[in-house]
Amino acid sequence: MEPTLVTWALVIWGAITLAPLVLVQLVFLRRPDSPKPKEWLIGKDEDWRDKTHLRSARGMALADCLLHFPLFVLGSAGVLMGASWGYVLFGAAGAIALYINMVLWVTEKEFVYPSRGAFKYFTYYWGFFVYWGALTLAYAALRISGIEI
């Protein structure tokens, strides 16, 4: 399964979308009380709503670093090598992005949308993760099924 232009586009889009998140999550895990990751994750001059909000952010940061990012990196390498296992891992990374960001898109809208505005909210803050996840999952499923796009 040789990589196509769509493969390259999804890998590049995923790298551009996930790279800043990797940085934020690593800084957050290292220094959860520092102001910069808090500003990046919840908004300028905003504070954690409660301990559950802070703990869920820590849990998601840990899960991203232990599961989501490695799946993306290994999956990207695999699809670029044309390996079927790469598409499985790449699709898994897409499924994780789609799942968690659909949840966040709904649960965080009340808090993030007003501080960031419609454009940022529906593009970078959660939109790109949802769009990329859905397209990556669908693309990986099609490629594993033998359909070349």
- Tell if the pTM clears 0.95, that is, is over it: no
Distance CA 19, CA 5 (A): 21
- Tokens representing 135 are 């397209």
Least confident of 30-34, 73-77, 142-146: 30-34
Place of tokens 């790449």: 90
Distance CA 70, CA 110 (A): 31
Distance CA 57, CA 60 (A): 5
pLDDT at 39 (0 to 100) = 78
Mean pLDDT for all residues in the chain? 90
pLDDT-based confidence at 81, cuts 50/70/90? Answer: very high
Place of tokens 């232009």: 5
Distance CA 44, CA 36 (A): 9
